[in-house]
Amino acid sequence: MHPMPRRWTAVIYYRTDVGMIDHEFDFEEIADLDGYVERGPDWNTIDRIEVRLKRAIHPGLTIEQSLNQ
């Protein structure tokens, strides 16, 4: 049996002297993203962070549909 994937995935893009590099992290709680930012390279080197939901319980759910649940 395969373990469930973590709920979130984030890609942090860092500026370097030779161009942009990125690191991808999977985590369960959105608050855990803070740890990756704080223990990584200086946060001033971050160009952007992209966060995506990796494990949806109700795929395709809209805001309007969620209000009727």
The 10s digit of each residue's pLDDT in 42-51 is 999 999 999 9
pLDDT for position 5? 85
- Which band of pLDDT confidence, cut at 50, 70 and 90, is reported for residue 1? low
pLDDT for position 4? 82
List residues bridging with 22 in a β-sheet.
13
Say if CB 20 and CB 14 are below 8 A apart: yes
- Percentage with pLDDT > 70 across the chain: 97
pTM of the full structure: 0.83
Q: List CB contacts of 43: < 8 A, sequence separation 6 or more.
A: 37
Give the 3-state secondary structure of residue 53: strand
pLDDT digits (tens, 9 = 90+) for 11-38: 999 999 999 999 999 999 999 999 999 9
